[in-house]
Amino acid sequence: MLIEVTPEDHGVVVDLAYATADNFTGRPIYRRAACYLHAEALAKLERARDLAAAQGLRLKILDAFRPAEAQWALWSHTPDPQFVADPRRGSAHGRGAAVDLTLLDADGAELDMGTAFDAFAPQAHHGRTDISATAQRNRALLLGLMTAAGWEFYAHEWWHYQLFDARTRFPLLSDSVLPIPMMR
């Protein structure tokens, strides 16, 4: 079951990159900006939110549930399985079991993570030492918060976290499961 994640109800900032042209495709993928997660993922997100808040930080969600139709649009633009999941296999996003996010400071400014979201470059990988020491610390902080909350990380994207065994535990979902479509 997918649950809508809103700033008012969940205490996070929602700024979905694929609902705007400010993403690697250069055009909006979602027609309606709405953030959804599976109930299990939402519980872990709320735990991460609480851990971040204890340090004076907030979570900013850049993507969450991604309908199968959106995955096809991304793959059609950039069929690179290192950064975009092949829609024939699907991704944890397509199951409502993944979230792309960053951290905000007390003033609402994004912490420096060394690269932008969706930077298709080796510098976007976890454990990089060719980014500033500040960015390395910020990535380690995000990694610590998310793993302490029960998330699995993806080695090639500092922003991506997913539930363990998502591909085997949750079905792929299309836009049709939503009460109000994101794609149409």
Q: What is the pLDDT of residues 142-156, one digit of tens each?
A: 999 999 999 999 999
Positions marked active-site: 157
Rounded-to-integer distance, Cα 50 and Cα 96, Å: 21
Give the per-residue pLDDT at 18: 98
The CATH-assigned architecture of domain 2-177 is 2-Layer Sandwich (3.30)
pLDDT, tens only, 23-49: 999 999 999 999 999 999 999 999 999
Q: How far is CA 115 from CA 109, 110, 122, 155, in A?
A: 15, 12, 10, 14
Residues of the chain with pLDDT below 50 are none
Dihedral sign (CA 112, 83, 143, 47): positive
Give the per-residue pLDDT at 180: 95
Give the per-residue pLDDT at 83: 85
